Amino acid sequence: MGTDITFVVEHRTETGWARAEELVEVNGRTVREDWFDTRNSELFWVLAGVPSPRPVSENAIVAAARGLPVDASDETLAVVYGGAFSHSWLTAAELVAFDWHQPVHRTFDLTKRDAKFNPLPDEMTPTAVEEAAAHIAAKGFPPEGWTVAGKARDGVTVTVATPLSTMIGREFPAVIDRMVALAPDNPEQVRCIFWFDR
């Protein structure tokens, strides 16, 4: 079972904090656009220290989960639901200041599979595993035919040193840029609020 994120963006107005995402029509309903809803255990660790099946270096956390902000907008509070965990928030300034390119260590199970996703343990020689781990260290993802998992019965546990940026993908940096664009002269005036569920 994976972990999902609920992610909202607020900006400060003269009357307090307000939601910043555009209103869009979905199935005849007007809702806020989702700026980020990708399942990414490594990124969730970095944002708030959410336990990951693929642990990342402990120093790679922007800020430990700090709960909902006391001045969150009513619209944000209306979508918070029971059963969620690790509620937190970060300003655009904090996200910009964080070192997204720092070297980190990532531990996971590396598995060789065929085209139908069946395990191929006979092909997981020490040399093949070493080459696959090197590929991940360089590119951030496994070579064709290999997958990473939290705890795979047929996997080999490896630890790879890699720049954090290769782990988090391209989507979240674009979200940071979008947040900064709301208040380029004062990124403290923009924040994301998020929480998780399984």
Q: How many CB atoms lie within 10 A of CB 48?
A: 23
Query: Is the Cβ–Cβ distance between 193 and 10 less than 8 Å?
Result: yes
CA angle 101, 107, 111 (to 5 degrees): 115
Per-residue model confidence as pLDDT tens digits over 1-16: 589 999 999 999 999 9
Query: Could you tell me which residues come within 8 angstroms of residue 172 by beta carbon, excluding any fewer than 6 positions away?
Result: 36, 38, 40, 43
Residue carrying structure tokens 């993908």: 169
The pTM (predicted TM-score) of the whole model is 0.84
Per-residue tokens: 3: 């972990």
Cα separation, 26 vs 48, in Å, equals 30
Question: From first to last of its 198 residues, what are the pLDDT tens digits of the chain?
Answer: 589 999 999 999 999 999 999 999 999 999 999 999 999 988 999 999 998 877 788 889 999 999 999 999 999 999 998 889 999 999 999 999 999 999 888 888 899 988 888 889 899 999 999 999 999 888 878 899 998 876 677 889 988 888 888 888 889 999 999 999 999 999 999 999 999 998
DSSP percent split of the chain into helix, strand, coil, nearest 5: 25, 30, 40
